[in-house]
Amino acid sequence: MNPPTPALDTNGPLTGVRVLELGGIGPGPYAAMLLGDLGADVIRLDRPQDDGQDNPAPVLHRGRRSLTLDLKHPDSTAIVLDLAAESDVVVEGFRPGVAERLGVGPDTLLARNPALVYGRMTGWGQDGPLAKEPGHDINFIALTGALHAIGPADTPTVPLNLVGDMGGGLLLAFGAVSALLNARATGRGQVVDAAMTDASASLLAMVHGFLVQGRWQDARASNNIDGSRPWYGVYRCADDRHVALGVGDRRSYAALLEGLGLVDDPLFADQHDRTAWPAMRAALAAAFAGRERDEWASVFEGRGACVTPVLSLAEAPHHPHNAARGTFRTGAHGGIEPAPVPRFSATPAAAPEPAPVVGAHTDEVLAQIGLGPEAIAALRAGGVVG
């Protein structure tokens, strides 16, 4: 007789973990979103001047409670310390030295809670010549070689802010959970220094491996996966939409030629004949231009040719594969957003709560650390909280 299947915990694997997020934009909130999606209780400190406004980041700020607190007010420090005392992880995205000036730096908070994980998200890192310089995603990935490697031969292409910003957020979330495991084993917390430059450099690990082996040229559009091959790239269709080719082996190459009706064309006899690549690219461009994108999607469906339609942000959630896996979900405001990831067999994540109105949980969170109505009213009157 088989043992009964244990009931699933649908609250996520980080249930019971409390995260204190000291405001911030972009990668820090993304890290906090990832932790919240997996069940952590995330409390975000927002600015009092935004109190009562609709959330400015309805997806990145989902799954939070929002407390409005003026970190520049001297009376705010005690509140942050009390919140940190009951937290497992703190996330901040200030420039180096700012948290210390505000009285909420890691030394202060770890003195109050020695098991605390203090996660710091910056572009350049906490040290180095550029540590205190301003910058954005494109600047950080430019300095690590990532931007140089992306795009056509004549100029780099901006890859949104996926490589630096969101890569940095992933790095911070991974670092926070790793440090939390250590803290629970040893009772000792620590600082996690997550830099967007470090994240983009780490994402290039495979490329650097190829470079060491002489299998990568340090120039755009010169390598297997950077657009140099005519059978690994993007082609325009008759309706000005596109298909993506990711052909990498003989089987998929044969399926590509079969779908295009080019099996007997001598131009394509040798997939790796570099001298033929310019003519091959032109022939492929002419072929794909002859039909609309979705016609090509139907032609190549099930062939194993590694040809896929390039879908817009609005189209992607409706693709049968994405719909079947629940890759996207409909948010509380009716908009489409990515579902929590990754997936867990025993502790699947629950649907995230919508991003709160700014300051919606101020009284609730302050009461949680022992402040009564009169004390909260005094803080509000003094402009400490919203």
How far separated are the first and last CA of the chain, in Å rounded?
60
115 shares its domain with 162: yes
What are 211-247's pLDDT values in tens digits? 999 999 999 999 999 999 999 999 999 999 999 999 9
Active site includes 165? yes
93 shares its domain with 172: yes
**Residue 6: what pLDDT?**
52
In sign, the C-alpha dihedral spanning 21, 27, 29, 35 is negative
**Residue 159: what pLDDT?**
96
Can you give the residue range of the structural domain that contains 295? 232-236+242-309
84 shares its domain with 136: yes
Catalytic residue among 46, 51, 165, 198: 165
248 shares its domain with 198: no
Q: Which band of pLDDT confidence, cut at 50, 70 and 90, is reported for residue 11?
A: confident
- How far, in Å, CA of 290 to CA of 285, rounded? 9
182 shares its domain with 80: yes
Q: Identify the domain boundary among 292, 309, 326.
A: 309
191 shares its domain with 247: no
Q: Is 187 left (phi over 0), alpha (psi -120 to 50) or beta?
A: left
175 shares its domain with 48: yes
CA atoms in the 13 A half-sphere facing the CB of 99: 26
Q: Identify the domain boundary among 260, 288, 309.
A: 309
Report residue 50 as tokens: 């935004």
Which DSSP symbol is given to 274? G
Do the beta carbons of residue 107 and residue 137 sit within 8 Å?
Answer: no
Question: Can you say how many angstroms the Cα of residue 206 is from the centroid of all Cα atoms in its chain?
Answer: 19
Active site includes 136? yes
Q: Is 263 left (phi over 0), alpha (psi -120 to 50) or beta?
A: alpha
Mean pLDDT, rounded, of the chain: 96
- How far, in Å, CA of 195 to CA of 121, rounded? 6
In sign, the C-alpha dihedral spanning 119, 122, 123, 124 is negative
- How far, in Å, CA of 205 to CA of 188, rounded? 30
127 shares its domain with 249: no
Q: Which residues pair with 195 in a beta bridge?
A: 122
- Strands of the sheet with 232-236, listed across from one edge: 232-236, 242-246, 307-309
Q: Which residues pair with 272 in a beta bridge?
A: none
pTM above 0.85, yes or no: yes
Q: Which residues pair with 18 in a beta bridge?
A: 41
Closest by CA to 352, choosing from 90, 57, 35, is: 35
**CATH code for the domain in which residue 122 is found:** 3.40.50.10540
Report residue 340 as tokens: 């929590």
Residue 7 lies in a domain: no
- How far, in Å, CA of 303 to CA of 301, rounded? 6
Determine the average pLDDT of the residues in 175-184.
98
**CATH code for the domain in which residue 289 is found:** 3.30.1540.10
**Residue 120 is inside which H or E element, if any?**
strand 117-122
What are 120-137's pLDDT values in tens digits? 999 999 999 999 999 999
Catalytic residue among 54, 127, 136, 318: 136
185 shares its domain with 256: no
167 shares its domain with 281: no
Number of domains in the chain: 2
